[in-house]
Amino acid sequence: MKQLKVVQTFISRFLILILSFGLVIFSTNIWGSEGKGTISIVVANVALVSFFSSIFSGSSTSYFARKFRIEQVLLYSYVWSVIIGLAIPLLFSFISVEREYLYYLIGISVLSSLLFTNINLFVGTQNIRLFNIYTVLQQLVHILFIAVLIYIVQLKDVSVYFLAHVFCLLVLFLTSLFLILKNCRISEFSFSKKVFFSMLDYGWKTQLSAFVQFLNYRLSFYFLEYFEGIAAVGIFSIGITFSEAIWTITRSIAVVLYSDVVNSSSRENSILKTKSSLKVSFSLMLIFILGIMIIPGFVYTEIFGKEFSETKKIMLLLCPGIFAIAVSDMVGYYFSAIKELRILNIKSIVGLLITVSFSFFAIPKWGITGACMVTTFSYIVSAGILFWKFYRSTDFQMKDFIVSKDEIKTFIANFSKKRA
């Protein structure tokens, strides 16, 4: 059954990968490097807000979905999502951060957090099917709304991207809310100090790591904008977008792993599941990295335009870091599921320190190339810390990274079953 969940989630994330690439190609061709840079900065700001709102709407929702009443968990997650989704963007406006897109930032922040709550509830209750459906729909419906606004409504400004995102999130939140409320009782929605403090304690600890890791992933955007301009951000963001699109594949495995470990009472069984997930992610990443390396440079230029002639070089420089983060995500989700959160904070803080300290030197001197070098070095060190911690308490063998023939047969059998 677990293998079938992995196969289903793998398929959904592969669709997301394709849709993400399609959206990147479309946006770069419509709005160019400056437009892509603007999108990247605003989306980074949305992500920044989401790390505060996810204290309740993120992994706390998944973790406590079966430990408390769903109605109580949802109540705190929804209220917190609205408060933070309004407060943080307004704070940004006071310090003159992207005032032009303030209303879009508020709409996307609130709705994405509300939808994220529902999706995390699906993970916590092990409803992986609905989790997969809604993660795919986030990309698909967004693209559909963009197409409608550009080709039917005849809007051309880069704000189309954000308006379409608002419509997409609203539709998906309302439909997922309908599915959830069918299994809830209105009378059970109530406040509880125990639920509040439990979610707050778990949430801020997990989100501290996630927030610091986010800064590690995104500070290069702000350094590049300051030293090189918004167009440089757009060019560099292609490589980061590719990275995160590729990570959706291995994180599909990590989500299933997290759901299983959270609901498991056996530490040994959880470790075995983690090692099994490591094998699959390691093999998949080898395939994707090799694919990136053999794609000729002119292909990127043909797809994205002449402004993006450095994309091949960017991808090659980022490849080692992409590989390291993708594989180490399995260990990170394992630690999160067993509430060993300190190591997640340590690896994120170390990575951030590397990004900040080296960016001041590398980006002014080497521009986008410097940003790639700093990013890769930070990713590798962060991943190394997770592996060091994991294998201090377990037996390490090279076979932990190599998929056996039996595991390949099982994967194919479940894939065939899914298609049937």
pLDDT per position in the chain (420 positions), as tens? 445 555 666 677 667 777 877 787 788 888 877 777 788 778 878 888 887 888 888 778 888 877 888 888 888 899 999 999 999 888 877 765 556 788 899 999 999 999 999 998 888 777 878 888 888 899 899 999 999 999 998 888 888 999 999 999 999 999 999 998 887 777 777 788 888 888 888 888 777 777 777 777 677 877 887 888 877 877 887 777 777 777 777 777 777 777 778 777 777 888 888 887 888 788 888 888 888 788 888 887 877 777 777 888 888 898 898 888 888 888 888 888 887 878 888 888 898 899 888 988 898 988 889 988 999 999 899 999 998 988 887 776 666 666 666 655 655 554 444 444
- pTM metric for this prediction: 0.67
Cβ atoms 196, 47 nearer than 8 A: no
> At CA 240, angle to CA 234 and CA 246, rounded to 5?
140
Distances 341 to 332, 334, 380 between C-alpha atoms, Å = 9, 10, 19
- Tally of domains within the chain: 1
413 is a domain residue: no
Where helices occur in 295-337 by DSSP H, the ranges are 297-304, 311-337
Cβ atoms 318, 375 nearer than 8 A: yes
412 is a domain residue: no
Cβ atoms 124, 181 nearer than 8 A: no
Amino acid at 410: T
267 is a domain residue: yes
First to last CA, the chain: 15
CA 13, 18, 20, 23 dihedral sign is: negative
Note the residue count of the chain: 420
Q: For residues 273 and 92, what is the distance between their CA atoms, to the nearest angstrom?
A: 42
409 is a domain residue: no
Range of the domain at 105: 2-404
302 is a domain residue: yes
410 is a domain residue: no
144 is a domain residue: yes
9 is a domain residue: yes
